[in-house]
Amino acid sequence: MGTNEVIQKLQQFVIEHGLPKTDMALFGIRCPYCGKSDRIRELEEPDELQEGMGPEDIREYAELWMNLTQSAGSLGVCKFCNNPLNLFLEEGKAEGLYG
C-alpha cells in the first residue's frame, strides 16, 4: 500500500471513529493545508484508545499509525479541513503528510 493510500485510510478512520477523543486544540500550530491555527488536534497513540473501539479497529489504527510515524513527531488532524498532519510539538509546527 502506498503512502497516499495509508494517509487516506487514516483520514477516513479518523472521521468514522470521531478521533481524536480528546478535543483539545493546539493553538498557534498552523495547518499547512487550510491555514487555520485554532483547529489542530493531536491524535491519540493506539494504546490510548481502548474505550469504544474493538480490537480489530485498534489493530488497524496501530498499523496506520506505525506506517506514518517513522519520523520524529506525532500525528494530528486539522478539524477544519480533516487532513491528517505530522506534528512537531517542540517546534510548534505541523507538516502535511501528503507529499
List own/partner pairs for 69-73 with CB under 8 A and 24 or more apart: none
Per-domain boundaries in the chain:
3-96
- Segment holding 15, helix H or strand E: helix 3-17
- Map grid coordinates 488536534 to a residue: 41
* Residue pLDDT tens, the chain, 99 long: 789 999 999 999 999 999 999 889 999 999 999 999 999 999 999 989 877 789 999 999 999 999 998 766 799 999 999 999 999 999 999 999 986
List own/partner pairs for 44-48 with CB under 8 A and 24 or more apart: 44/19, 44/20, 45/74
* pLDDT for position 39: 96
